[in-house]
Amino acid sequence: MSATRADWVEACNSEFLAQRVHNFSALEVADVGRRAGDRELQAPTLDLLENAIMLIDVLQYIRDEGVRSPVLINSWYRDEEYNKKIGGVPWSMHLTCGAADIVKVGYTPSQVADMLEAHPLADKLGIGRYNTFTHVDIRGWLGREAPARW
Ligand SMILES: [Zn+2]
């Protein structure tokens, strides 16, 4: 029995409040219950929240670099079935809550990737450059091989 949308929002936002996360919220991590084709997106297990909070440190850095502006989330957590459906790799960092595909308002994806390269701990990050967004993940903090670039 997986968490409902309301359960997820309550658990995630109370953790974010405790950790002083102000600029990101539960439904950005996982839009639980949204229909995607023939099924609804599932909530992550709550043990993955600490990965989300580590990633938020990096997202907050991107928000504050250059001209401070919102970081929009295209995709953050993916449950296993959804990840499979959209052709994600089985070891995708999106399954861990430790990866997001992002756009920073006012900046190109390539500028965002360059900002990530300038992060003090860039050697622990995965950074993927795409035409319309930038992928970032915290693989080095989760014991996976790092850095990764594509
Ligand atoms: Zn991604």
**Could you state, in chain order, the average pLDDT of each consecutive group of 10 residues for the chain (150 residues)?**
89 96 97 93 96 98 98 97 93 98 98 98 98 98 98
Q: Strands 148-149 and 126-129, how do they pair?
A: parallel
Query: Tokens standing for 18?
Result: 């405790």
Length of the chain in terms of residues written: 150
Residue 120: its pLDDT value, please? 97
Residue 101 C-alpha to ligand 1 middle, in angstroms? 5
Q: Which residues surround ligand 1, an ion (CB under 5 A)?
A: 101, 135
Residue 1: its pLDDT value, please? 57
Residue 137 C-alpha to ligand 1 middle, in angstroms? 8
Residue 89: its pLDDT value, please? 93
Q: Which of 3.30.1380.10, 3.40.309.10, 3.40.50.300, 3.10.310.30 is the CATH number of 47-149? A: 3.30.1380.10
Q: What is the DSSP letter of 107?
A: S
Domain residue spans in the chain?
A: 47-149
Residue ranges of the alpha helices (H) in 19-108? 26-29, 49-64, 80-85
Residue 100 C-alpha to ligand 1 middle, in angstroms? 5
pTM of the complete model beyond 0.75: yes
Query: Tokens standing for 102?
Result: 């992002």
Name 148's bridge partners: 126
